[in-house]
Structures are given as structure tokens and as C-alpha cells.
């Protein structure tokens, strides 16, 4: 049986038995047609099932490299490889045609997107004006404290919402904030006076003096849900005309990006963010380089 015939049979199986959506079937059809077309050019003949079973790891690597040469990114090539792997699994079950090489090769890894920070002005506006979307004075104080904390200390939203009253940084104290991050790893974060002021303002409205009570509360007196905080910022960014990437996590990105622009070293930023690997923190150097290039293009007389 020719591979092209098996491809059509596979697509019919995908639609009828797997009940895949028409768009999924269309994507698999295009991906497999591209793969089989490459194999035909690469080997000099239209492949049949024994030919597919005999493909070497070098043949699959040549196909992936060809995709990169034609400008396909890692994410696209990973999707194509996933389609080919699924096709070969089906061939092994339906026709007894296996090829172990397709299971041994690593899937191309998509590049992680660069962090998207806010401008210092926009980040400051979030913490100073977020209360505009809240009706009560208590909610205004809570939201101002939460978003000032996110930007001022570079916390993840989950880390901030996990804090209890006993953890709260207060005015009149110079104690750092102890944060429990990913993997239950604890780190120490210094706290700016403006953060202490905002949190102390919220504590004056906090309904429970119990040190074990959640620092940030929702309407039912339970720990504030992250989805509620995200909606608050989503409503505010539309009101204030901020970019769509203005999210709670963007404030953490802004914290790191603005520290780097101010001269902080990567090791210090890594410790403040709680990154296990310095390579994760190094992504911010690309962000800062992009920002500098944009400034150069806008301001240089010959830009």
C-alpha cells in the first residue's frame, strides 16, 4: 500500500472514529502531505508502507531541518512532528508497520515568549489608581495594597494571595517579606515604604485581626481568588487605556525589567524573583535590549 493511500485511510479514521473536528483533520491532512512530499523528494520515490518503516533517524532529522530552512518555527515543526507520530502509531496498530525512530527523536521545543513588561508609568498607574474600579473604600484599599505589592516586590499572584495577616509588611517596620514560592522554596524580599503604606492602609479595613487569617479577602471572607484579582485589573486596564498584556503577572515582569534597566545585576534579580535557574532570569536581558533598540530607533537623528 502506498503511504498516500494510508494517509487518506488515517484521515477517515480520525474523523469517523476519533471524531476529530474538521479543522483538526484539515491540519493533519496538510502536515502529513508535507511530510510525505518531503520523503518522496528525499528518497527519490513515492513511499509505500515498507519505505516508511525503513526511514532512519537521519531522514526524520532532515525533514525537521528542511522545515527550519523554509522558515517554520519550532512550535510549527513540533505540531507537524506530533501529526507524524500519531500517523505512525496508527500505522503500527492498523497495518503492523512500526518505526521506532519516530518515538526516539525529541520534539522541537518552542521558544518561550519574552516577558512583556509595562512602562514604569503604567505600572505605577495600576497600583495608584486600581481603586477606581471598586465601589467600597475597603475594596479600594485592598486592591491598591495587592497590586502595589505585586509590582513593588515582584510577587506571583499566587504568592501574594497565599500571605496571611501575620506576613503583612507594615509601616514602622523594616522587616523583609518572607515569600513561599514554587517548590515550597522560601525567599526574602525587601519591601519599599510605599508597599508598607498601601498594605497598612488595607489592614485598617481588614475585618479579622487573627494573624492566621488570609491577608487578602474576597466578598465572602475567604481568601481572595486569583480570577477576581485578574478581572479587577482587566476592568481597570480598559478604563485606563492600558495595553492588553497588563495582567498581574506583567507587574512581576515589570518589577524585574525596571530593576535591570536601573542597573541591578541578574543574580540579585534571580534571588528576588525566586527563579531556580539563572537562565530564566536572563530572558529579561533580551527585553531590555529590545527596549533600548526601540529608544534608539525613535530618538537617533538617522534612525
pLDDT at 254: 92
Model confidence band, residue 28 (pLDDT cutoffs 50, 70, 90): very high
The active-site residue out of 72, 249, 283, 291 is 249
> Tens of pLDDT along 259-293?
888 888 888 889 899 887 777 777 777 655 655 56
Give the lowest-confidence range in 56-70, 245-259, 272-286: 272-286
> Tens of pLDDT along 196-220?
999 999 999 998 889 999 999 998 8
Residue 303 pLDDT greater than 80, yes or no: no
Residue 296 pLDDT greater than 70, yes or no: no
The active-site residue out of 77, 206, 252, 258 is 252
Q: Please give the model's pTM, rounded to 2 decimal places.
A: 0.61
The active-site residue out of 182, 231, 238, 267 is 182
252 noted as active-site residue: yes
Residue 18 pLDDT greater than 60, yes or no: yes
Mean pLDDT of the chain: 87
> Tens of pLDDT along 128-168?
899 778 888 999 999 999 999 999 999 999 999 999 999 99
182 noted as active-site residue: yes
275 noted as active-site residue: yes
- In order of their start, the domains of the chain are 3-104 (1.10.150), 120-299 (1.10.443.10)
156 noted as active-site residue: yes
Contact 253, 291 (CB under 8 A): no
pLDDT at 132: 78
Amino acid at each position: 500500500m502506498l503511504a498516500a493511500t494510508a494517509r487518506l485511510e488515517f484521515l477517515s479514521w480520525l474523523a469517523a472514529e476519533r471524531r476529530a473536528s474538521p479543522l483538526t483533520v484539515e491540519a493533519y491532512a496538510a502536515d502529513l502531505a508535507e511530510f510525505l512530499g518531503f520523503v518522496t523528494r528525499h528518497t527519490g520515490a513515492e513511499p509505500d508502507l515498507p519505505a516508511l518503516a525503513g526511514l532512519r533517524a537521519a531522514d526524520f532529522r532532515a525533514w525537521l531541518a528542511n522545515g527550519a530552512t523554509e522558515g517554520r518555527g519550532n512550535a510549527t515543526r513540533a505540531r507537524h512532528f506530533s501529526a507524524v507520530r500519531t500517523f505512525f502509531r496508527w500505522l503500527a496498530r492498523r497495518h503492523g508497520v512500526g518505526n521506532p525512530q519516530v518515538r526516539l527523536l525529541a520534539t522541537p521545543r518552542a521558544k518561550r515568549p519574552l516577558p512583556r513588561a509595562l512602562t514604569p508609568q503604567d505600572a505605577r498607574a495600576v497600583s495608584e489608581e486600581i481603586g477606581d474600579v471598586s465601589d467600597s473604600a475597603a475594596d479600594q484599599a485592598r486592591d491598591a495594597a495587592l497590586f502595589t505589592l505585586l509590582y513593588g516586590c515582584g510577587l506571583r499572584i499566587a504568592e501574594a494571595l497565599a500571605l496571611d495577616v501575620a506576613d503583612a509588611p507594615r509601616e514602622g517596620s523594616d522587616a523583609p517579606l518572607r515569600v513561599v514560592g514554587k517548590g515550597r522554596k522560601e525567599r526574602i524580599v525587601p519591601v519599599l515604604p510605599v508597599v508598607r503604606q498601601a498594605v497598612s492602609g488595607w489592614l485598617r479595613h481588614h475585618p479579622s485581626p487573627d494573624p492566621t487569617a488570609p491577608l487578602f479577602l474576597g466578598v465572602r471572607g475567604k481568601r481572595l481568588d486569583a480570577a477576581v484579582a485578574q478581572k479587577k485589573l482587566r476592568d481597570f486596564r480598559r478604563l485606563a487605556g492600558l495595553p492588553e498584556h497588563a495582567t498581574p503577572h506583567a507587574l512581576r515582569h515589570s518589577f524585574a525589567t525596571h530593576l535591570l534597566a536601573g542597573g541591578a545585576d541578574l543574580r540579585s534579580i534571580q534571588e528576588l524573583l525566586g527563579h531556580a535557574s539563572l537562565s530564566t532570569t536572563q530572558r529579561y536581558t533580551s527585553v531590555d535590549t529590545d527596549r533600548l533598540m526601540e529608544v534608539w530607533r525613535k530618538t537617533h537623528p538617522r534612525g
